[in-house]
């Protein structure tokens, strides 16, 4: 009977595993193979060049700068998004005043959940179009218009948010954080609602403040959710292709003067515009390796004993 069960399960797994190998694993293998050649993309004739493409990558100042920009995104996007999402989730679930019914969220918490989650229903492409209007470099831009009205910016010299090297990365980070906070707020709220209210009430009776309740109760019990959010946000920070290619200047974005380049934009430009497909495949392999290493490091660094309640 057990042998028959194994055959039954193997029969159901055969087709999905085969499809996964063909459409997921095989393209990765092909990409690595092409990265060892001088493939031009359109031509089917190419030569084996070994590790020359990888050696050229580390001499490519634009690609190395793009890696640095991805690292900056990797540092700031997860930290800011998770901190804001945790704060808002805590306030919506346990930040209200003590009442006879026990611990509760702030007044209107259900409405706030909808407001915070709203950006998540919009695609990144739509957000890119909206924030291009927000960051417009004239008085018609929402941000510049508000600053002009407040007298903080001269109407004749508005801020070039997406064309200033010092501002462009921060402008992109704001968009990603604004888009992601609502989703992780809902994720953390769902995890907080599984925490018994009696724990919070006992802490309040013992004289614990809201801050102590958050750091001593909420955060330790939400650590698994925080760990998951950190990995997903880290992977998103290693991509950033849609926003950079849509919001910034240049072919596939990256402007001004490559100050907003990320690995994905450099790769696509080399693949589609410069005809360096083998070189671009090497970039793709480096992106894959960095993302895998990032995921493992984050999971290891944030691993801790699970707390039961």
Q: Is 167 helix (H, G, I), strand (E, B) or coil?
A: coil
Within-domain flag for 193? yes
Query: Which structure tokens are listed for 38?
Result: 């001088």
User: Which pLDDT value is given to residue 308?
Assistant: 60
For residue 73, the domain's CATH number is: 1.10.3720.10
Which residue in the block uniquely carries the two structure tokens 């360096």? 276
Q: Work out how many domains the chain is built from and give that number.
A: 1
Which pLDDT tens digit goes with each residue over 203-258?
777 777 777 878 888 888 888 888 889 888 988 898 899 999 999 988 888 888 89
How far apart are alpha carbons 225 and 112 in whole angstroms? 21
How far apart are alpha carbons 47 and 12 in whole angstroms? 41
Which pLDDT tens digit goes with each residue over 105-133?
677 777 888 888 888 888 888 888 899 98
Within-domain flag for 45? no
Question: Which residues span the domain enclosing 291?
Answer: 53-301
Within-domain flag for 214? yes
Query: Which structure tokens are listed for 92?
Result: 């919506």
Predicted structure pTM score? 0.86
Within-domain flag for 35? no
Within-domain flag for 6? no
Which residue in the block uniquely carries the two structure tokens 């696509």? 268
User: Which pLDDT value is given to residue 267?
Assistant: 93
Q: Higher-confidence residue: 8 or 144?
A: 144
How far apart are alpha carbons 270 and 278 in whole angstroms? 9
Within-domain flag for 167? yes
């Amino acid at each position: 009977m057990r042998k028959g069960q194994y055959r039954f399960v193997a029969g159901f797994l055969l087709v999905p595993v085969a499809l996964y190998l063909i459409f997921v694993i095989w393209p990765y293998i092909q990409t690595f193979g092409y990265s060892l050649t001088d493939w031009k993309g359109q031509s089917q004739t190419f030569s084996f060049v070994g590790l020359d493409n990888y050696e050229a990558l580390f001499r490519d100042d634009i690609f190395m700068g793009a890696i640095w920009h991805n690292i900056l995104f990797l540092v700031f996007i997860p930290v800011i998004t998770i901190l804001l999402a945790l704060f808002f989730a805590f306030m919506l679930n346990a930040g209200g005043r003590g009442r006879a019914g026990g611990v509760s969220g702030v007044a209107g918490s259900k409405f706030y959940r909808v407001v915070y989650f709203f950006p998540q229903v919009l695609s990144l492409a739509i957000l890119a179009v909206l924030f291009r209007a927000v960051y417009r470099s004239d008085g018609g831009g929402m941000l510049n218009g508000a600053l002009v009205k407040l007298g903080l910016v001269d109407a004749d010299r508005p801020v070039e948010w997406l064309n200033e090297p010092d501002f462009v990365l921060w402008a992109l980070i704001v968009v990603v954080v604004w888009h992601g906070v609502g989703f992780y707020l809902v994720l953390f709220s769902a995890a907080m609602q599984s925490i018994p209210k009696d724990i919070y009430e006992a802490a309040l009776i013992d004289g614990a403040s809201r801050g102590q309740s958050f750091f001593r109760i909420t955060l330790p019990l939400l650590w698994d959710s925080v760990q998951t959010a950190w990995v997903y946000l880290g992977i998103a920070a290693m991509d950033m292709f849609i926003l950079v290619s849509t919001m910034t200047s240049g072919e596939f974005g990256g402007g001004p003067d490559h100050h907003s380049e990320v690995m994905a934009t450099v790769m696509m430009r080399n693949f589609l515009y410069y005809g360096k497909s083998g070189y671009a495949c090497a970039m793709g392999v480096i992106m894959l390796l960095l993302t895998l290493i990032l995921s493992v490091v984050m999971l290891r660094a944030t691993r801790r004993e699970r707390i039961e309640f």
